[in-house]
A = this chain, B = another copy of it.
Amino acid sequence: MSGHVAIVGATGAVGQEFIRVLEQRNFPYKRITFLASARSAGKKLTFRGTDHTIQELTKDSFAGVDLALFSAGGSISREFGPLAAKAGAVVVDNSSAFRMDPDTPLVVPEVNPEDVKAHKGIIANPNCSTIIMVVPVFALHKVNPVRRMVVSTYQAASGAGYQAMVELEQQSRDVLAGKPVTPKVLPHQIAFNLFNHNSKVGDNGYNEEEMKMVKETRKMFHNDAIQITATCVRVPVMRAHSEAINLTFEKPITENEVRKILSAAPGVKVVDDRVKNYFPMPLDSSDGDDILVGRIRQDISQPDGRGIELFVSGDQLRKGAALNAVQIAELLV
């Protein structure tokens, strides 16, 4: 299946991470093609020690392609995803274009790997903050169903793309030099500041990022009854998202049970040292594959013993995007 692999959006922050993840995991392929906009076409990329020329993405790009990894934004996915599928490729799409389409499986391999089978040419990769949350939460949900989640996020610049990372760095230099700051990529100053996630705020007051966390989790858990509320915040961190997660379970659960379940959960690493005050941090989760989970404690505000608090951190570009997409592709191989 993975004979001829195409990477769409090869020059973006996630596209670059696709390349690293495919190299590191020794992903099996016969041929690889890097596709991007006309602006990037003709430039060279090195993959496993070999130079590749970036091709311009056109409607004819997918002839003979078996697997297409898309990360070039929703409009590119909407235009070219169905064309790639029609040409016979299986598309793993990192945009939000098809996530809530009933015909498109939305998959995190640690949560619902069996859903890939139902694909009709396109499989959607969830939103980064959703992935980072559901990997540890689903491990618990399988044992004792989660009834309600209250989540607050601490989201990195990378979630808004490579240029947002550049902006965080440049603004930080400017602030430290006493120079004025003019936001260009993100709507507000990100250096030494934080603000509501830069997605559109809907009529119910939730931003799109928050509603993704609600809807995508319900779809992957095959459970529309789970109650979720989220507050998504952009913070001056480069590439790892963190989240404070308050859980209410169906039945009482102890923090020791939670620690035991999470210690055995795939894709999760428990980092929970109360004596050393060492817990998940973006500095440690960045560039790694695991979702770090700590601050595991019984929620003292739920005296019936059904509440648990967690704090998690995961690399937005890896498990939040490229790694999860490649893991989906590995399920297909």
Contact = CB atoms under 8 A, between A and B. Distances in A.
A120 interface: no
Contacts of A231: 152, 244, 246, 295, 309, 311
Contacts of A205: 255, 274, 295-298, 309
Interface stretch (A64-72, A109-117, A275-283): A275-283
By secondary structure, the A interface counts as mixed
Contacts of A172: 172, 176, 192
Contacts of A299: 229
Number of copies: 2
B255 A194 contact: no
A275 B173 CA distance: 30
B229 A295 contact: no
A207 B237 CA distance: 23
A206 interface: yes
B193 A282 contact: yes
A173 B172 CA distance: 8
Interface of A: 148-150, 152, 154, 168-169, 172-173, 176, 187-189, 192-196, 198, 200-201, 204-207, 214, 227-229, 231, 233, 235-238, 242, 244, 246, 255, 274-275, 277, 279, 281-283, 294-303, 307, 309, 311
20 contacts: A152-B244, A154-B233, A169-B176, A192-B237, A193-B237, A194-B235, A194-B242, A196-B277, A196-B279, A201-B275, A205-B274, A205-B309, A206-B300, A214-B300, A229-B299, A229-B301, A231-B244, A233-B242, A233-B311, A236-B236
